[in-house]
Amino acid sequence: MGFRVTLLSVPLQFSEAILQSLGLMPGDEADAMNESPFSGAKNGDCYLIWVNDDWYMMTDEELLAASRYGDVLMLRANETVMISEAAEFRNGEKLWSIVHDCNEGPDHLAPTGNPPATWEKIREDLLAEAAAAGDDEVDFAYDAPVVLFKNLTGFRYDEVHELPFVTLQGEHAAKAKKPFWKFWS
């Protein structure tokens, strides 16, 4: 089925306030495979929040509110419909975003605001790779927001990692609904 995930990277020093604004708090149960609705881990001087979109969809409004406590870098990656988005929120505003929606075409990339300087090089490299491959079945542009997020945070959701993720609990975790298709656990 593929991943359906939202990742947030927030400054470690503001992580407690941001988590609280999102109705979350660290639990004590390890979640190395990121199977719970919400999990979090320290990643250098940042804190990563993993949201399984099968359980809960984080809204822009929630991220705008959380960004009043510190910068929030966000990645939404939905491999089931091949839509990806990277964005940055600060002081209650969305500074920039890069969206890929395969329904808009194989090379669709819609930037808004002022993306980081590395964005143009990432875009050019992926589109050149797509042209060189000549394969209409591979969605190279989907990776652009994913690569940008990794460039900014050092983390990619679909790569093996050894971060010590723990479950996150609280208001949102209690509201998280098990997907209709996930009949186990």
| Residues in Cβ contact with 10 at an 8 Å cutoff, skipping those fewer than 6 apart | 18, 46, 47, 49, 66, 70, 71, 72, 73
Share of the chain above pLDDT 90, in %: 63
> Has residue 155 got a pLDDT over 70?
yes
Say how many C-beta atoms besides its own lie within 10 A of residue 156's C-beta: 17
Evaluate whether 18 touches 72 at the Cβ level (below 8 Å).
yes
Q: What is the DSSP string of 57-111?
A: PPPHHHHHHHTTSS-EEEEEEETTTTEEEEEEEETTEEEEEEEEEGGG-TT--EE
Average pLDDT over the chain reads 88
Q: What is the mean pLDDT of residues 69-91?
A: 94
What is the domain partition of the chain in residue ranges? 4-173
Evaluate whether 8 touches 53 at the Cβ level (below 8 Å).
no
Give the pLDDT score at 184: 47
Angstrom distance (rounded) from CA 164 to CA 149: 19
The amino acid occupying position 63 is L
Evaluate whether 26 touches 70 at the Cβ level (below 8 Å).
no
Give the pLDDT score at 180: 46
How many CA atoms are closer than 13 Å to the CA of 159, on its beta-carbon side? 10
The amino acid occupying position 114 is N
Record the pTM: 0.89
